C-alpha cells in the first residue's frame, strides 16, 4: 500500500479521488452561491456559518487547499511523465478520430482554471482572510460596530460583479471548468474502477453536472451584474 503513489494506477487513483473531492466542493460552493440569487438572506447566513465555523475554517479549508494543490501538482507531474513516454511525435496525428478534444487537453483546461483560481483567490479569498484573521473581524457585518448593519456577504458579492471585466473573466474561467469536467467527471469514475451497467446513466449525470454547474456559476455572475447595480 505504501508505494501506491509510485505506480501509474495509484497516481491515477489519487488524481481521481482529489477530483471527486473537488467536484463535491464545487457542488457545495454552487449550492451556497445560488442562494445569493434565490434568497440573499439565507445566502448571508450560510456564508457566515461557512466563514466562521471552526471545523470548516481550520479543517475543511485546509483539506481543500491541500486537495487543490495536490490535484494541480499531480496533474503537471503526470503530464510531464506522459509527454516523455513518446520521444518522437507523429508527423500527422488525427486525434479527433478517436477521442474528444477535452480529453486530450486536460492540461490546458486545467492550466486556465489554475490561472482563474489564482485571480479568484486574490479577489475573494485573500480579502476575506484579511478581514477575518488579520483585521480580526469575525462579525461578518457590513459595519462591525453596528449590529444592525446586516451581513456583508451578499452586498460584497453584488459589488464584485459590477465591473464587466470580472464578469467576463468568470465566464471564461467557468467555460474552461466545463470543458475540464466534461472529461474529468467520467474519467474520475473510470479511474477508481467504476465502469459497469451504470456507466451510461453516469454519462448523463456527467453532462448535467459538467455543463449545469459552470453554467450556473456564470448565471450567478451575470445575474448580479445586470440586477445588482444600485
Partner 1 sequence: MNLTLKIWRQKGANDKGKMVDYQITDVSPDMSFLEMLDVLNSELITKGDEPVAFDHDCREGICGMCSLYINGEAHGPDRGVTTCQLHMRKFKDGDTIYIEPFRAKAFPVIKDLVVDRSAFDRVQHAGGFVSVNTSGNTIDANAIPINKHDADTAFDAATCIGCGACVASCKNSSAMLFVSAKVSQFALLPQGQVEATDRVLNMVKQMDEEGFGNCTNTGACEVECPKGISLENIARMNREYLKASFKG
| Interacting residues with partner 1 (CB under 8 A) | 1, 4, 7-13, 78, 81-82, 84-95, 97-100, 103-104, 106, 183, 186-187, 190-196
Q: State in Å, rounded, how far the first CA of the chain is from the last one.
A: 58
Q: In angstroms, what is the minimal distance from the CB of 196 to partner 1?
A: 7
Q: How far is the CB of 205 from partner 1 (least distance, A)?
A: 16
- Which is nearer to partner 1, 35 or 181 (by Cβ)? 181
CA distances from 80 to 74, 101, 180, 184 (A): 10, 19, 18, 18
Among 6, 74, 28, 18, which residue's Cα sits nearest to residue 187?
A: 18
Radius of gyration for the chain, computed over Cα atoms and rounded to the nearest angstrom: 20
d(CA 69, CA 128): 20
Rounded to a whole number of angstroms, the minimum distance from the CB of residue 87 to partner 1 is 5
**Cβ closest to partner 1, residue 6 vs residue 229:** 6
CB of 182: closest distance to partner 1 in angstroms? 12
Indicate the residue among 7 and 42 with the shorter CB distance to partner 1: 7
CB of 103 to partner 1, least distance (A): 4
- For partner 1, give the closer residue by CB, 29 or 104: 104
| DSSP secondary structure code for residue 98 in this structure | T
Task: Tell me whether residue 131 or residue 187 sits nearer to partner 1 (CB atom).
Answer: 187
Whether residue 223 contacts residue 37, with contact meaning beta carbons closer than 8 Å, is answered with yes
3-state secondary structure of 203: helix
Judge contact between 61 and 5, C-beta under 8 A. no
Closer Cβ to partner 1, 57 or 103, answer by number: 103
Please, what is the minimum distance in Å from the beta carbon of residue 154 to partner 1?
A: 40
- In angstroms, the Cα distances linking 78 to 14, 28, 70, 115, 176 are 12, 28, 12, 19, 20
Amino acid at each position: 500500500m505504501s508505494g501506491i503513489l509510485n505506480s501509474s494506477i495509484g497516481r491515477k487513483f489519487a488524481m481521481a479521488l482529489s477530483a471527486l473531492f473537488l467536484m463535491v466542493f464545487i457542488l457545495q460552493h454552487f449550492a451556497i452561491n445560488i442562494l445569493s440569487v434565490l434568497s440573499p438572506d439565507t445566502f448571508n447566513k450560510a456564508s457566515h456559518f461557512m466563514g466562521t465555523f471552526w471545523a470548516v475554517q481550520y479543517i475543511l479549508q485546509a483539506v481543500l487547499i491541500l486537495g487543490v494543490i495536490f490535484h494541480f501538482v499531480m496533474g503537471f507531474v503526470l503530464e510531464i511523465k506522459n509527454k516523455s513516454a513518446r520521444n518522437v511525435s507523429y508527423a500527422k496525428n488525427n486525434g479527433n478520430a478517436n477521442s474528444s478534444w477535452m480529453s486530450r487537453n486536460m492540461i490546458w483546461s486545467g492550466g486556465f482554471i489554475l490561472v482563474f483560481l489564482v485571480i479568484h483567490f486574490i479577489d475573494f479569498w485573500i480579502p476575506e482572510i484579511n478581514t477575518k484573521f488579520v483585521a480580526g473581524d469575525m462579525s461578518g457585518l457590513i459595519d462591525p460596530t453596528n449590529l444592525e448593519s446586516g451581513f456583508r456577504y451578499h452586498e460584497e458579492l453584488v459589488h464584485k460583479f459590477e465591473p464587466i471585466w470580472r464578469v467576463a473573466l468568470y465566464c471564461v474561467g467557468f467555460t474552461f471548468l466545463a470543458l475540464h469536467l466534461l472529461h474529468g467527471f467520467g474519467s474520475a469514475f473510470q479511474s477508481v474502477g467504476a465502469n459497469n451497467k451504470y456507466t451510461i446513466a453516469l454519462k448523463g449525470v456527467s453532462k448535467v453536472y459538467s455543463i449545469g454547474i459552470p453554467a450556473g456559476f456564470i448565471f450567478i455572475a451575470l445575474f448580479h451584474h445586470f440586477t445588482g447595480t444600485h
